Amino acid sequence: MGQFIQFAINGLMSGAIYALIAVGIVSVYKATKVVNFAHGYLIMFGAYFYFTFAVIIPGQDWAPAWLASWKPDWMVEMREGLSMFSLLGAVLDWAANVPRIICGLIGAVVCNAILGRVVERTLMRPLMGQSVFAMIMVTVGLISILSGSASLIWTADAAFVPHIAPNTPIRFELFGSMIFLFGADIVNMIIALIIFGSIVAMVKFTKGGVAIRATAEDQSTAYSMGISVPKIFSRAWVLASATGAVAGAILATRNGISPSLGLFGFSVLAIVLMGGLDSYVGCFIAAMAVGVLEAMTQWKMGGEWAEIVPYVAVLVVIIFRPHGLMGQKEVERI
Partner 1 sequence: MTLNRRTFLATGAAATAVVGTPMILKAQPAEYVLGASLPLTGPFATAGQLVAPAFALAQKMFNDEGGIAGTPIRFVTEDSGYVPQSTLANYQRVLATEGKACVGYFADSTGAMKLIAPELKGENARLMGSTSFASELANPQTNPYQYISGPTYQDQFDILMQNIKAAGGSKIAIIYSNTEFGRDPLEHGRATAERLGLEIVLEEATKPQGADIPTHVTKLAQSGAEHCILQGYVTGVWPQLIGGARQFGLPIQFHGTFWGMEKLIADRITKEAGPFLAGYQGVMPYRYFYDRENAPRYEQYAALSKAMFAGTPLENYMSTWALQAMCGLELAMKALRDTAEAGKELTADNVAESLSGISDWDSGGFFGGPVSMNNNKIGTGRVYEYAPDTGLFTPVSDWLST
Per CB under 8 A, residues contacting partner 1 are 3, 6-7, 10-11, 13-14, 55, 84-85, 93, 147-148, 151, 155-162, 167, 169, 180-182, 185, 251, 254-256, 258-261, 263-264, 294-295, 298-299, 302-304, 306-307
Closest distance between partner 1 and the C-beta of residue 245, in Å?
18
CA 253 → CA 22, 101, 139, 214, distances in Å?
19, 11, 26, 37
Strands 177-182, 169-174: pairing is: antiparallel
Q: How many CB atoms lie within 10 A of CB 92?
A: 19
Q: Which residue number, 261 or 287, has a Cβ lying nearer to partner 1?
A: 261
* Residue with smaller CB distance to partner 1, 255 or 328: 255
DSSP label at residue 36 = -
Q: Which of 298, 226, 334 is nearest to 6 (CA)?
A: 298
What's the closest the beta carbon of residue 259 comes to partner 1, in angstroms? 6
Q: Is 126 exposed, middle or buried (0-12, 13-18, 19+ CB in 10 A)?
A: exposed
Q: Residue 19, CB half-sphere, CA atoms under 13 Å: how many?
A: 32
Q: How far is the CB of 93 from partner 1 (least distance, A)?
A: 7
Residue closer to partner 1, measured from CB, 6 or 279: 6
- Kindly state the smallest distance separating residue 211's Cβ from partner 1, in Å: 35
φ and ψ of 179, to 5 deg: -100, 130
Is the CB of 24 or the CB of 276 nearer to partner 1? 24
Task: Quote the least distance from Cβ 16 to partner 1, whole Å.
Answer: 12
Contacts of 180 by beta carbon, 8 Å cutoff, 6+ apart: 6, 169, 170, 171
Q: How many CA atoms lie within 13 A of 102 on its CB side?
A: 8
DSSP string, 203-216: HHHSHHHHHHHHHH
Nearer to partner 1, 196 or 264 (CB): 264
In whole angstroms, the minimum distance from the beta carbon of 289 to partner 1 comes to: 15
Closest separation in Å from C-beta 233 to partner 1: 30
- Chain centroid to Cα 42, Å, comes to 10
- Is 263 or 312 the residue whose CB approaches partner 1 more closely? 263
Please report how close the Cβ of residue 278 comes to partner 1 at its closest, in angstroms.
26
Distance CA 305, CA 133 (A): 34
Closer CB to partner 1, 140 or 156, in the complex:
156
- CA distances to 145, 192, 228, 251 from 21, rounded to whole Å, are 20, 9, 26, 10
Decide whether 80 or 157 has the Cβ nearer to partner 1.
157
